Amino acid sequence: MSVRSKLAGYGKRGRIWVNPNVPKQFRARLIRHETVERQLRRQGMTYKEAHRKALEAEHKGLTRKEIARYEGKLGAIARYKPHRR
């Protein structure tokens, strides 16, 4: 399972969901990613191709340094697992 799958996704009916631990400033980019990916998959593109194009859309307008910082923060959020009692 990829790190990204814990942050956002979409169901069979097309509803997009975002992990509640993701800060509001990142949600718009994740929603853009899932929207683009879903549209490309519906057009017949493979998941791998659609995901690559969706990442391009998600990172649009960011420098390489900003992308690294953004992905690092999302990775930390995805790895966070609170202890349950």
For the stretch 24-39, pLDDT in tens is 999 999 999 999 999 9
Instruction: Supply the range of the domain harboring residue 65.
Output: 4-79
Establish if 84 belongs to a structural domain.
no
Across 44-50, average pLDDT: 96
Beta bridge partners of 17: 9
Establish if 50 belongs to a structural domain.
yes
Establish if 64 belongs to a structural domain.
yes
Q: Give the whole-angstrom CA distance, residue 19 versus residue 25.
A: 13
Establish if 30 belongs to a structural domain.
yes
Establish if 75 belongs to a structural domain.
yes
Higher pLDDT among residues 5 and 82, named by residue: 82
Q: State the Cα angle at 51 between 50 and 52, rounded to 5°.
A: 90
Instruction: Give how many domains the chain has, as a whole number.
Output: 1
Establish if 35 belongs to a structural domain.
yes
Is the torsion defined by CA of 38, 39, 43, 45 positive or negative?
Answer: negative
Establish if 85 belongs to a structural domain.
no
